[in-house]
Structure 1
Amino acid sequence: MSKRPGEVNGVAPPLAKLPRLDAQPGVPGAVAAAGVVKKPGPRLPMLMYKEGEPLRDLRSYYSKDGASQSVEVRIPAHCLTSNNRHVRARQLWGSDVYTEDSDLVAVLMHCGYWYHSLTHPPAQVAEVRAVLKPQDPRDSYPSTARNSIRSRAWAAPIEASLAAADTAADTAIAAAAAEGMLPRGCSYAVEKCWVVTRSGTSVDLAPNLEGLPAAAPTFTPSHMERIITRSSGAGGRQRQVQEVTVMFNLVNEPWPKYNMQAVADRGLKPHEWTSARLHSTVLYLESHKERFELALSSPAANEADGEAAGGGERYRFSRCTRPLPAALMAKLGVPLPEAERSVLHEDLSWEEIQWGANGVSLRGQLYPLVRIHFMPQTGKAQ
């Protein structure tokens, strides 16, 4: 009698039982649901964020004697977009410490945990969780601009009021606060925040409390970009696609690729000249190994006259001591201070700056270039 491989005398060997891939390690029979992550540490009370509703139950974990209990809040992925109506309305008051009716998604964007311009959440994100610490109500809440969002200011302490109650729950909370059973409002601060993916893993998020948004590359105007014709018979559909080449600079930030169109004048009027653009910005250029700075050192005596302004201005071309991220450059000041640059050419006229296809020539010396970036001025270099 023929036998299949593995059979002995017609008896099949016992099958080995494979462990389930979704089982929790160390817990027999426990199954991990997608999007559920257990962080190490004591279990915290949990609240669910709902778009358009404040965290009404947060004050029940607040204590006047400083023993307030931290609270974990779960935020669904579909709420983490710029289309959130409380984000669009800037429903947040304060800085670092916010009023209890401040929208949590707007607060996370203001603190830099989440990017404010996302119109759709990433597909792999299931939810975001944040740990909030209830704090004493403040007499005032300052307004600050961070990460392209400005919070609102409030100059009076937050108190529960029967007159402001618009629902039965509000009325009950306000009545309890009036009788001393609950504190008269509270504030909160974000202690930590993390992303829970659909596969069940978690990724910690770091805040950006300096408030400087991520570097955004400066592109050439749309009518000057390279245009590629994809199809000649597209009919009423869009037939032309504009293309911009973006490279990564020496500190791994996106910058446009250098070309002559990027430094060309944007029009015939004096305020559209590239030289006029350097009144409010500084031009940074990079080769494969070095970074350079081109800045206006002295304006013309008569800036109202376009011709005189173009001929009387003087520029400074420097080599940066080290390539720095955009956020650090903004803190040090743009143009950079003297400690961060060494002057190569000073007192340059605009006619002495000769742009080429592969670089810039200054007084007979050619500097090869591969990347370009206009950065707004933030301070005067000393």
Structure 2
Amino acid sequence: MFNTYDSIGVSVVGKSEVSTVVYRVGECMQELIKLWKEYESSQAEKNCESSQNGPTLEIRIPAEHVTATNRQVRGGQLWGTDIYTDDSDLVAVLMHTGYCRPTASPPSPAIQELRATIRVLPPQDCYISTLRNNVRSRAWGAAIGCSYRVERCCIVKNALRQQRFVREVTIQYNLCNEPWIKYSINIVADKGLKKPLYTSARLKKGEVLYLETHSRRYELCFTGEKMVKATTVSQAHETETEKSLTHNLHSTNGEISTVDGDSVMIDVFRWSCCKKPLPQKVMRSIGIPLPLEHLEVLEENLNWEDILWSQTGVSVAGKDYPLARVHFLSPN
């Protein structure tokens, strides 16, 4: 039931470098325990109590091990939920937390490895069992050794032409400790000429976009249509054309329907701050988009042109919001 990771250049605790080890199937993860003991020792020397958050450890997992046929995954070598025992298999943990799928098919040949950053934690009084993502963890009731949780995980692809590694999409924990995707403009940018895949089109079909800073969660949703004068829309499009020369990351794709010669119907959107970040299960139970009592509405009747995406965040009606995470949710 033990997993090991071979060290490939472990730093001394207290230094800025993150310890890095390589995953190996079926051996004890000694480096995790060693890191925790060194951390406790350093805290004792400083005559201070050990923090609930210990040092971090980066673990490189070769792609061939990221499969449900991994014998540690098949054997259920997994104890806890969100926080796991030090002998829980990391691949099983990544599947349990949703970072990768528990399938028998191996990853794409283009994927070289996964790189997971885990936080070393003190031993817990108990570890609970849950079924998540078709993987069930086991319960354990003894506080021994140490624990860990996954803080982030990314895919590393082998760029053959450059002969170097390229980091791909990164998954992070949201404010409710659930795996969401790290914010990237690629996630919200319109792709090609397929209008049904445009972000505005997805929102119009009922999906809701949730975005987080490091401390707050926001909701962007479609709220209907409004009638405006055709001359106003014409002026807005002329202004947007000028903007597009310098803001080529933004795309105008809100739908406009002609009503008569003087008026048109345009799509409108709402930008709100969630009063409290809620787990997805709770959000689905109370309704998506969230009821108004759970929101602080910041901007209503927004034209799509009022929402400008950038590499670091979004500008809504002229106000900038630096973003950390993003997630689409549908009512069903």
- Which bracket does the TM-score occupy, shorter chain normalised? 0.3 to 0.5
Greater share of helix:
2
TM-score (structure 1 length as normaliser): 0.39
Larger Rg: 1
TM-score (structure 2 length as normaliser): 0.44
Greater share of strand:
2
